[in-house]
Chain A
């Protein structure tokens, strides 16, 4: 068999024996529903887990800090494990009150950030999340998806 014939045989083999699961295609189609309609995307600019830094002072185990930025606004999330679930402490910078929603493909939790721009959500399932923030002047932003 020459290289091309061997390549064709490999492609057939994987098409037959390792196809893309049908349910996964369906989930792919449905992911368009997560299109970010109104908010501006805040990008991940720092992740202590990616650099091996850990915050050992947090009770219940090491925490991870994620920093998202958009224009002059920052959203800092401190993630820690609490009894098997995920605890999320958020800090808006500038520190102002706002509505915050933690979204995941399986549900969402809405909270209010206090006058110092802090919010907390306990008992989150581990998995993929993002946080959308609506400020009191109507401005919105949403973080990139993160896994925790």
Chain B
């Protein structure tokens, strides 16, 4: 028999073709039946447990089958996030107005844009220079006058534990507040009247006022007021109720040091005056008397100056400066604010739609920023899985 190495290629090919495996008639018939039925799905091997069945479903499923629910979930998530963000935005806007109107319940700080009156009230007790023992470091009184309040924490905490409040040093605090109230043009006059009533109710002083009435959009009023510091919180709350608070700002300045310094110097000056008076009564010559009287006159002028300065400081501590501005016209009232007479129209709807779209765009950008890396990771994982599968298949042949 001729060896295979000496066989021609055609002979070897024919020999190999004669070995070609043929499907059994039973299998061929069964496969033809399945083909005629459109290859109905069989339960995959080893797919008894749900996870294996899910994997088989993923493997056999088309991309559309995965993309449609994934896209639906993504759209629903974006919609929910948009509604939540829009809701929180409108909520915060409402709360701004609400907190403006309820300033009495706000906690205070050195300089607050909104609120901050109630807790600061204890700071505005009347000046008591002799009690401010800790204010020796006040030689540069003018420089410290404008410094912001630096109050020890226990001053505030004392309200909660009684005794500490009694022993805490008293501070003199000057307060200044500005508030802008929005109202309709035709109601500026009425609002101005309410300002006057409020000032009167809280024993305040109107330093100056100007009111420009009219039905146009330029109606406005301005008030410069002095309100007793102990009542300024309540007064501000009352001002806030007159209309819609457009802007509110409060500042506090600690003037304890200059007050204490002026008081001490006044005491020294009075002591010197008493000494000069005693010296004057004991003077024996006209010359000596004239010298003492000249010194006495100079010291009295100095004492008068100190007294005036101390009085001014006490007035600044006792009376807070309040600026009230009433504005009207476009921009003075926010949509949905106190301007309830104006109906919600197409312009408002367009504004709302624009706002909603901008919020939706923002949420979409944030969502994409989160999803993009995840999608990239998924794509990389998918590519790595494909490469691994391909290599594993090739390894099966080696």
Chain B binds chain A: no
- By a beta-carbon cutoff of 8 Å, the part of chain A in contact with chain B is none
